[in-house]
């Protein structure tokens, strides 16, 4: 069977929500052993329970983790490897977005974004390296389509994701001879709590402007689509599978044609 990830141990960060949760579900559907990590234990447990209730071939194991805490990340990965017999892939989906006004830059906010998006991914890649060398596994890091088409308010966000892409490129070069592949995925707009946040009312409902915003996002795609988490997850299944054995150091763009670089 092509793209077979059944039985593989896949650690996904940011798995309580959006793309990370979608990745956990798709890998569980494909029979993987998913270690689902997130800062927020309650939301993560609920998501893991929801996926495990679907009767899929694989399983999801929830693990509370703050990716900015390097020591905790190392303990968590060592623990997961001991419990499940190793780690075959790590997928860095944990991330935050903070609007920055380039005319009045809040450097603390920029640091927070770098801390989670860049250092979080760095901590996981660093702690995962020995485990992935042992299994000739792979890493996948979430970047953003904003790298090709940035908005001013994304100053911190795109800077952090540019750093993630450079981490990906250098780790790919460094670990290739160990048989470890490292790639990035730079999605276009994916319908998740991250892009709904500014339109979510205190009672959890979406404000009137959301439908217009969704239409704006759709209009950016020649397919007239906004992505779903599974659109990103399937790309990552390919990247983790043996069929991608020749693929490393690259940035992939599941983006509905939002940008079409040469
Ligand atoms: P989301 O906000 O729905 O989920 C992000 C998850 O990361 C949350 O569950 C959050 O609790 C977790 N997280 C935040 N800080 C953490 C920490 N310190 N330790 C552990 N977990 C932490 O966001 P979404 O949309 O699912 O985004 C996932 C990734 O994809 C992010 O890296 C984002 O930058 C990237 N992305 C998202 C796009 C979109 O349109 N939604 C487009 C391109 C990239």
14 lines ligand 1 (CB under 6 A): yes
- Cα-based angle 132, 134, 138 (whole degrees, multiple of 5): 25
Residue 1's pLDDT band (cuts 50, 70, 90): confident
Minimum CA distance residue for ligand 1 atom 2:
194
Residue 80's pLDDT band (cuts 50, 70, 90): very high
User: What is the third-level CATH fold of 9-190+228-252?
Assistant: Rossmann fold (3.40.50)
pLDDT of 92 over the 90 cut: yes
Q: Could you tell me the distance, in angstroms and rounded to a whole number, from the CA of residue 51 to the centre of ligand 1? A: 18
pLDDT of 33 over the 90 cut: yes
Residues of the chain with pLDDT > 70, as a percent, come to: 100
Q: Could you tell me the distance, in angstroms and rounded to a whole number, from the CA of residue 213 to the centre of ligand 1? A: 19
Q: Is residue 238 flagged as an active site residue? A: no
pLDDT of 26 over the 90 cut: yes
pLDDT of 244 over the 90 cut: yes
154 lines ligand 1 (CB under 6 A): no
* DSSP for 51-116, written as a single string: HHTT--SSEEEEEE--TT-HHHHHHHHHHHHHHHT---EEEE---------TTS--HHHHHHHIII
pTM: 0.98
Minimum CA distance residue for ligand 1 atom 44:
144
Query: pLDDT of 116-175, one tens digit each?
Result: 999 999 999 999 999 999 999 999 999 999 999 999 999 999 999 999 999 999 999 999
Query: pLDDT of 187-240, one tens digit each?
Result: 999 999 999 999 999 999 999 999 999 999 999 999 999 999 999 999 999 999
Query: pLDDT of 52-63, one tens digit each?
Result: 999 999 999 999
Per-residue model confidence (pLDDT) at position 89:
99
Calpha distance 253→148 (Å, rounded): 10
Per-residue model confidence (pLDDT) at position 132:
98
CB atoms < 10 A from the CB of 220, how many?
A: 18
Calpha distance 190→145 (Å, rounded): 10
Q: Could you tell me the distance, in angstroms and rounded to a whole number, from the CA of residue 14 to the centre of ligand 1? A: 6
Identified catalytic residue from 157, 189, 217, 238: 157
Per-residue model confidence (pLDDT) at position 95:
98
Indicate which atom in ligand 1 lies nearest the CA of residue 197.
2
Smallest Cα–Cα separation from 252: which of 188, 185, 161?
185
Mean pLDDT (the chain) is: 98
63 lines ligand 1 (CB under 6 A): no
Sequence spans of domains, the chain: 9-190+228-252, 191-226
256 lines ligand 1 (CB under 6 A): no
Indicate which atom in ligand 1 lies nearest the CA of residue 115.
18
Query: pLDDT of 63-77, one tens digit each?
Result: 999 999 999 999 999
Calpha distance 190→131 (Å, rounded): 31
Q: Could you tell me the distance, in angstroms and rounded to a whole number, from the CA of residue 260 to the centre of ligand 1? A: 24
């Amino acid at each position: 069977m092509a793209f077979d990830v059944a039985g593989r141990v896949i650690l996904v960060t940011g798995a309580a929500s959006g793309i990370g949760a979608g990745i956990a579900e798709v890998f569980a559907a494909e029979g993987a052993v998913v270690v689902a990590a997130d800062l927020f234990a309650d939301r993560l447990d609920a998501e893991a329970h929801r996926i495990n209730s679907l009767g899929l071939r694989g399983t999801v194991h929830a693990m509370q983790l703050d990716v900015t805490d390097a020591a905790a990340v190392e303990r968590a990965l060592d623990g997961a490897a001991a419990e499940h017999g190793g780690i075959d892939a790590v997928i860095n989906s944990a991330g935050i977005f903070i609007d920055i006004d380039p005319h009045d830059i809040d450097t603390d906010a920029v640091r927070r974004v770098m801390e989670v998006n860049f250092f979080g991914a760095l901590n996981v890649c660093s702690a995962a390296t020995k485990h992935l060398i042992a299994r000739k596994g792979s890493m996948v890091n979430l970047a953003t389509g904003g790298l090709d088409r940035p908005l001013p308010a994304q100053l911190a966000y795109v800077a952090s994701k540019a750093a993630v892409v450079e981490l990906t490129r250098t780790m790919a070069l460094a670990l290739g001879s160990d048989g470890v592949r490292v790639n990035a995925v730079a999605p276009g707009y994916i319908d998740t709590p991250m892009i709904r946040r500014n339109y979510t009312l205190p009672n959890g409902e979406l404000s009137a402007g959301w439908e217009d915003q969704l239409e704006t996002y759709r209009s950016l795609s020649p397919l007239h689509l906004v992505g779903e988490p599974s659109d990103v997850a399937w790309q990552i299944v390919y990247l983790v599978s043996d069929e991608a054995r020749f693929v490393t150091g690259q940035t992939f763009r599941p983006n509905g044609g939002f940008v079409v670089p040469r």
